[in-house]
Structure 1
């Protein structure tokens, strides 16, 4: 009797658990059926209403004309590529910044599409595929003439143009300042990143001066005697003796005649009489080498100083901690045997890339009026195409017109031109084009990589330095991971 009652109790428990199992299973089945029905209804709705994902279908419901098909194919391919773009890290480990002086939006527009005579020479610019773009206001549109050096300070130190002009009053005052400006280059060094600067101009130009100098004088020859006696330093001296200059892992460009009094002269590389020349007895190249020799006695480092293209080509740059290349007496454009932009960038990256450290590389390409602008843009395009695709690297391409126009002080030239449209359109077409070319234009920043989303909209010139500083503050942490 006891056994029979126990058996009944067990059966009740099993029946109760079986009922619970059936209830749970039934609930899951109903949920799956409802989900499938919803998916079916949504899919039918998307197809009927032409809102399907372009990554899943070739075209929308309506068929396009045969003449459109080739362009729709290309467009859908570009959209799919954008949708497949990987997220990558939140903040970059490395930064590569390419600065193109003498080019702005007008020039890019004119060279993006081929002319009738050059229908086979169209170039698909790499930077046009970068996902983000910002415009930087041209603060020089209200100044005549425009101080290019102060614009560089705005870009690289985040100091507004008017404040930078106040600081240029006297070298004596600048030398005695306790709050020395920190450029993005110095901030990167303090964050523990390796740093490099490459330019097709001279190393003491406006960009170099803003990155590691604090003087309106490129070399000692043109500095007033009183400033020299008071201990002021020109840009060339600051490159060798300043903390930022001494800490650079890579420095490649022109300007040998600013660094040394005695320089070799050839028909390919003459001394530029229009530029500053070092004073008697100056040899900063020798000082740089001696400085590194002293450093190597404290902490072993490998370094090299090169002055010819063949030396750079044969260099196993990955073995070196510091590399200085002075490749012309003046600007590199004055030396037809100077190294290519691509070669200088490749060797610089070999020096900078380390598993244990991130890096900041700033590359300046100066395009002068006498140059073939289209060819210079193609050179930049080829260089960017050759870069290794790094998910942890933020790449910026800044186009800015280094030769600023001189509009009136009370009204921008663009506004003034619009006010006289009736007169302008009575002029010859070539004169109209000249007027349009002379309008002051904003700088453009194309961005790709982690945190490229910062570079959107219309910003002040100082925004570039502030955005880079923010990224550098986080890149320090990323480099340690």
Structure 2
């Protein structure tokens, strides 16, 4: 076995980014590499400082179903798409300075669904399975209870609007689907997306699409981008039986437009990527984009171009262009919603591509925001029952075989498998259970389903009940620091921005340090706030941004503020040492660009690495 000789800190870190262990070469990093890598990571950790600023803006990225296993698989998949081994890489949020875990159970279930979890992390209260925007007093299908405003839970999006901030939602699912709906709707059943689904059980209740268009806070959301035309009565193609259509004959997209014009706003409704790109944010107050009759197609199936559907990255950037106009700041929810759908069908190829698409959206957003005044949070609502199994060699295709054979049937098996789902494929010879040979199939075919142990119908693999991770950067990101209850997320975001339950109550402690903006008075902790009063279901639309609380445009919706401001003292995002930061920002892409993704397999040649990096490097910590 050959070993690389120590070169320098930069060279060794670079090797960690691009090395791939190939089946025949068995090349591994030497001990010096791991020593230097750990010392650089330690130095980066020692440079991290807590940001106690008030968040002017909050962006929540939600990977639907992106549990820890799916996140790990996506990290490896992303690296392998770049021609690397994959294990040594990272998703963009994995470089955030703060990380924690969230417990995802609901009031009535060990394993949750997306409706109850969205209610938790957006509204700050845990609810029951399949219910949205209501507290535990409302059980599944209880229309009468869900109509009682006492049981309604307001969301971080509504709190932001009440503080004079602009708001937006972006999703690859229908905009009436569980996660986005929790920002604005109150319902006893997540499937009540349109009136035809209310049926006998929902008589007297308002469907989710109707609530988005006619009720607060939905009617005041400045930018809404996703799928779901059919639920609005505005489908452009044949009826899709996986969603619901309107039985009342209404076209809610036109009602949405008329409402905005009637209240003196300029608004546009768009249905293609090209139409979205042509909208000028400077002369448009409201934007509604519905790019599919149901969900936006999977990234691997999405039609790009002017007449196609926009990517999650492009929708995110469009939303930010609209929301950054607000002098009071904004709240934006961005959901990579179809990660969940790929996993429900035991098709990890689809899910991993959706995860990488969300990675691209987060990276693009970070280029647009300032982490001194913008809190960026990335998390998942729940996990799935996918597992990374076997003992595959490093660099093995994450969508391929483990390299091992079963000692029972002598057949290989894939690295990614499921404990239940439609991917089961068993037969019997009367004595033994037999399964198919996955090596005889193309596991990267878009239709390939990984093997599952317990059979289910298509798209009905279940969620998992384990904790999910949460990553954060920006003001008060350090509040995410251990295992939390999932509903804690809404309260931490609210405290960061001084909105909702923390409006006027977000005093920072005496040891807090600030780098920008007015500093809330330090004060002893206040007693817990009283329960929120029932919302007024008939409330009038909010006035334009900045005047919701009678504030001038430069007023911050917080407690009386000291006039002291402190200068910027340290890097705004010191999660990496300068050496690692430079590599991640410049050299990794430089190497891949220079040699091509098809040829970047391993860097055992010292001359190649030095030629690309140069020799101006820091000395290793061990010297």
| TM-score normalised by length of structure 1 | 0.72
Task: Confirm whether residue 394 of structure 1 aligns to residue 367 of structure 2.
Answer: no
On the 8 A contact 2:141/2:201 being kept in 1, the answer is no
Match 1:143 to one of 106, 109, 121: 109
Task: Confirm whether residue 372 of structure 1 aligns to residue 331 of structure 2.
Answer: no
Match of 2:550 in 1: none
Match 1:105 to one of 57, 63, 68: 68
Match of 1:293 in 2: 261
User: Structure 1 residues 134 and 221 mapped into 2: Cα distance closer, same or farther (>3 Å)?
Assistant: same
User: Structure 1 residues 70 and 114 mapped into 2: Cα distance closer, same or farther (>3 Å)?
Assistant: farther
Superposed, 1:202-351 pairs within 5 Å as: 202-215=174-187, 216=189, 217-224=192-199, 227-228=202-203, 230=204, 232-260=205-233, 262-265=234-237, 270-296=238-264, 301-333=265-297, 336=303, 337-351=308-322
The CA RMSD over aligned residues, in Å, is 3.3
In the TM superposition, residue 305 of structure 1 has moved relative to its aligned partner by: 1.2
List gaps (5 residues or longer) in structure 2.
1-8, 10-28, 129-134, 387-405, 421-451, 453-461, 505-517, 519-553, 557-623
* Cα distance in structure 1, aligned partners of 2:315 and 2:330: 16
Give the secondary structure class of the aligned counterpart of 2:210: helix
Give the secondary structure class of the aligned counterpart of 2:73: helix
Match of 1:170 in 2: 142
User: Structure 1 residues 314 and 102 mapped into 2: Cα distance closer, same or farther (>3 Å)?
Assistant: same
* Cα distance in structure 2, aligned partners of 1:83 and 1:318: 43
In the TM superposition, residue 151 of structure 1 has moved relative to its aligned partner by: 2.4
Give the secondary structure class of the aligned counterpart of 1:386: helix
Comparing 341-350 with 87-96, which one deviates more in the overlay? 87-96
User: Structure 1 residues 392 and 172 mapped into 2: Cα distance closer, same or farther (>3 Å)?
Assistant: same
User: Structure 1 residues 342 and 459 mapped into 2: Cα distance closer, same or farther (>3 Å)?
Assistant: same
* Cα offsets for 1:374-395 (capped at 9, x unmatched): 3222222222222224121110
* Cα distance in structure 1, aligned partners of 2:322 and 2:79: 44
Match 1:445 to one of 460, 467, 470: 470
* Cα distance in structure 1, aligned partners of 2:78 and 2:177: 34
* Cα offsets for 1:168-211 (capped at 9, x unmatched): 44212321334532111111111211110111000111112211
* Cα offsets for 1:139-171 (capped at 9, x unmatched): 159838744322222222222234537344421
On the 8 A contact 2:67/2:384 being kept in 1, the answer is no
Task: Confirm whether residue 465 of structure 1 aligns to residue 487 of structure 2.
Answer: no
List gaps (5 residues or longer) in structure 1.
1-53, 55-65, 406-424
In the TM superposition, residue 331 of structure 1 has moved relative to its aligned partner by: 0.3
Comparing 324-333 with 425-434, which one deviates more in the overlay? 425-434
* Cα distance in structure 2, aligned partners of 1:218 and 1:404: 27
In the TM superposition, residue 80 of structure 1 has moved relative to its aligned partner by: 4.2
Match of 1:412 in 2: none
Match of 1:63 in 2: none
User: Structure 1 residues 146 and 314 mapped into 2: Cα distance closer, same or farther (>3 Å)?
Assistant: same
* Cα distance in structure 2, aligned partners of 1:309 and 1:377: 20
User: Structure 1 residues 208 and 355 mapped into 2: Cα distance closer, same or farther (>3 Å)?
Assistant: closer
Match of 1:7 in 2: none
In the TM superposition, residue 263 of structure 1 has moved relative to its aligned partner by: 2.5
* Cα distance in structure 2, aligned partners of 1:198 and 1:116: 26
* Cα distance in structure 1, aligned partners of 2:202 and 2:104: 32
Higher RCO (Cα < 8 Å, 6 or more apart): 1
Comparing 426-435 with 445-454, which one deviates more in the overlay? 426-435
* Cα offsets for 1:336-371 (capped at 9, x unmatched): 331001110001001001362111100011112245
In the TM superposition, residue 321 of structure 1 has moved relative to its aligned partner by: 2.0
On the 8 A contact 1:139/1:161 being kept in 2, the answer is no
User: Structure 1 residues 69 and 403 mapped into 2: Cα distance closer, same or farther (>3 Å)?
Assistant: closer
Match of 2:155 in 1: 183
In the TM superposition, residue 281 of structure 1 has moved relative to its aligned partner by: 1.4
Which of the pair has more CA radius of gyration? 1
